[in-house]
A = this chain, B = another copy of it.
Amino acid sequence: MTLNPLARNNRPLIFHPRSQLSMGVCVSMRWMWIICLALVGLNTGGLRADDGYRAWLRYDPLDQVSQRQAWTSVVTGLVCREDDPSVKVALAELQMGFSGLLGIDPSVRPEVSGSGGVLIGTIDGNPEIAVRLRPEDADQIGSEGYVVRTYSNGNGKPLVMIAARSGVGVLYGAFELLRQVQTGVYPHGLDKVDQPKIGLRMLNHWDNLNRTVERGYAGFSLWEWFELPDYVSPRYHDYARLSASVGINATVLTNVNANAVILTEAYLEKVATLADVFRPYGIRVFLTARFSAPMEIGGLETADPLDPGVAAWWQAKVEEIYRHVPDFGGFLVKANSEGQPGPQDYGRSHADGANMLADALAPHGGSVMWRAFVYAAEIEMDRAMQAYAEFQPLDGTFRPNVFIQIKNGAIDFMPTEPFHPLFGAMPKTRQTLELQITQEYLGASIHLAYLAPMWKNCLDADTRVAGEGTTVAKVIAGSDADDGYLPGAIAGVANTGSNRNWTGHPMAAANWYAFGRLAWNPDLSSESVAEEWVRMTFSNDAHVVTPIREMLMESHPAVVDYMMPLGLHHIMAWDHHYGPGPWIDEGRPDWTAVYYHRANADGIGFDRTVSGSGAVSQYHPDVAGIFGDVDACPERYLLWFHHLPWNHPMASGNDLWDEMCLRYQRGVDTVGSWLEVWAGLESSIDAQQHNHVLRLLTRQERESRWWRDACLSYFQAFSKRPLPEGVGAPGHDLEYYRNLRLRYVPGTPSEQ
């Protein structure tokens, strides 16, 4: 049923993939390159129009002549003799990439010759690969890694080799080679040997079957369920290319607030079609499992995980799924959380529920991703403590194919949170780090916020649980050592949607990119990843790279400053979470803002020390000692852990009130400074992209003031203190801000 866009009609491989990337007109790559060079030569950069669809796989002609010449002299052909589907898409990607970047159409030949070229293949599939590998290579590339290396090739031209154990390793190597070319690297001396540090690198799509996307801000779902399985959008193919280019190897197609209908036969046919498209790109499909599905679509009276009929139903359902999707990845489950059904409905534990599903999946090689994001309004305990309290005691009771999926922080994707205390605290259990790529609490797709620095705060955080250096990244990566953590996973809640440019904000594509890159290697720096993305997306010109990279790096701290500085959290507007709402005080206490900021005449902040909620005690004592000590606690978490008087002295010499005000102002000022920076780039980047970002930055600047003014007006009613010098006065009174009501904010389930 599926369309294999690469094989269709037996047309030359080279044209088709590119053609699916926004090409509305008939142009071969070679011609395109000539034209583009002509335009570049005419210094008419402003004439270009890029709608963002190609994202970072832009493959526009290299602007550095010497680099282009160097690569052109090397890429005299592609040497490949394998039929593996992943090797074939790797080959097609190289053809497309080189055509765009270099303006050449390298031919494919089966054997290395003296004229150089790019040799691609697997160690077992091509003896010419095997003979060239160094002895130490094989140990360093695992099943998904690669070697990308330039050889002098005797007396002939240099040869670039992409070698791997598997087809998908070859594909990752091909993307790595293209990234090198795109970011300005020369062929000589190229030698990259790499493999992913985390085994399972997943996107989580919170996509509903009616194509709305919970917390999705880039249009609607990519999955056109009604048209599937008949019509197969070219976007599925390009989604897979973009994801695979950064090493993503799994995708959960459906919302964690799950719908059992996805597990019915008619939908499994549609899922199978998507899985067929994704398979050559090394991407396995997962689905969310609604725990009550046996009742809703199975006609059973119960979903009790210990009921043999329920277990049998799931076993049969899993077998049915594998008939459609032989490499199905497994289930992601949100159970007994925010109204979702789960094993506790029957007095069973999370382990009972997860293990029942795991047993059904195990014979087929599938896994269960069981979310630890649970909390109950009825429980008096600090919400930040509930997941740990619920799950940590269950360590050791989960099946080997169960992963406990834990958000980076203990509340819910706040602009800044300390790492979740569960990381490292379940040494007998696989753990998945769940990050949110989509900007639920960070300005949706309107505000620029490059999230790698926030994620790095978590990945690099030292839990100390197994001694110094037990970072979150190491816990989830795991190791094969007997005494090490079990290999885990990393998941990102996707920010993709049906918008032409995938992510709404043109710069939000950097977050999709960065998630993949950090999932592959959490040791990469935020800055280096940002730079890669800017070079691939915009230009290698330093006058473009530097200012955009700096904007990206400034952005998350700026958003934290103007939204929730100093460890403030959960003070956003009700329901849609867009805009300020520090006054929210009605309804479920743990869904209000006042529950978290606790501002009063005395001060502000949530006391989570041992004299407060005690949440700090869930961390290793070394960490608890830091977070719990008002003098040692990093300022960015200060009000997360401490309730402090308005005149509390800060490191800057300001007191708390003044410091808070100045942080809000700093955020506003930073955004304001970008407007000038961005205006200066007008002649250097595509006009359509430039205009799009400019208009969003203009709105972000206005809305950063909205945040500052609304929050400071509200808190000032408690502090009774004037705004310090340099902090802009609000344009309206507090009532004005309280009465603003945004409607139909995208991604808001209640208004769909």
A: residues with CB less than 8 A from B are 3, 8-9, 11-12, 15-16, 19-28, 31-32, 35-36, 38-40, 45-51, 53-54, 60, 209-212, 219-220, 225-227, 230-232, 234, 261, 266, 444, 446, 498, 500, 682, 687-688, 691-692, 695-696, 698-699, 743-746, 751-752
Contact = CB atoms under 8 A, between A and B. Distances in A.
Contacts of A752: 210, 212, 752
A9 B230 contact: no
Contact of A22 (B20, B25, B210): B25
A3 B691 contact: yes
11 contacts: A23-B49, A25-B27, A26-B45, A27-B35, A31-B31, A31-B38, A210-B744, A225-B744, A226-B745, A230-B446, A261-B744
A510 to B, nearest CB: 18
Contacts of A212: 752
A26 B31 CA distance: 11
Nearest to A61: B26
B24 A53 contact: yes
Contacts of A35: 26-28, 31-32, 35
Contacts of A45: 26
Contacts of A234: 51, 688
A226 B746 CA distance: 7
Nearest to A261: B743
Contact of A25 (B32, B211, B444, B745): B32
Nearest to A267: B743
Given A498-B219, A498-B498, A688-B19, A24 B50 contact: yes
Contacts of A444: 226
A8 B743 CA distance: 31
A515 to B, nearest CB: 23
A441 B71 CA distance: 57
A48 B24 CA distance: 8
A11 B47 contact: yes
Given A20-B688, A22-B24, A32-B27, A209 B744 contact: yes
Contacts of A446: 226-227, 230
B19 A49 contact: yes
Contact of A51 (B24, B36, B47, B695): B24
A740 B14 CA distance: 43
A313 B709 CA distance: 33
Nearest to A682: B9
- Which 4 interchain pairs have the tightest Cβ spacing? A22-B24, A19-B49, A26-B48, A230-B699
Contacts of A36: 25-27
Given A19-B49, A744-B226, A27 B27 contact: yes
Contacts of A698: 230
Contacts of A9: 46, 682, 687
Contacts of A8: 687, 691
Contacts of A49: 15-16, 19-20, 23-24, 26
A226 B745 CA distance: 6
Contact of A696 (B21, B231, B695): B231
A687 B26 CA distance: 11
A743 B270 CA distance: 13
Contacts of A3: 691, 695
Given A9-B687, A21-B24, A26-B48, 13 more contacts: A3-B691, A19-B49, A20-B688, A24-B24, A25-B50, A26-B39, A27-B39, A31-B31, A226-B745, A230-B695, A230-B699, A231-B699, A234-B688
Contacts of A219: 220, 498
A60 B24 CA distance: 10
Contacts of A47: 11-12, 15, 19, 26, 28
B209 A743 contact: yes
Contacts of A60: 25-26
A16 B691 CA distance: 13
Nearest to A3: B691
Given A26-B35, A35-B28, A11 B46 contact: yes
A51 B22 contact: yes
Contacts of A19: 47-49, 687-688
A23 B26 contact: no
A12 B230 CA distance: 43
A491 B16 CA distance: 40
Given A31-B38, A744-B226, A220 B688 contact: no
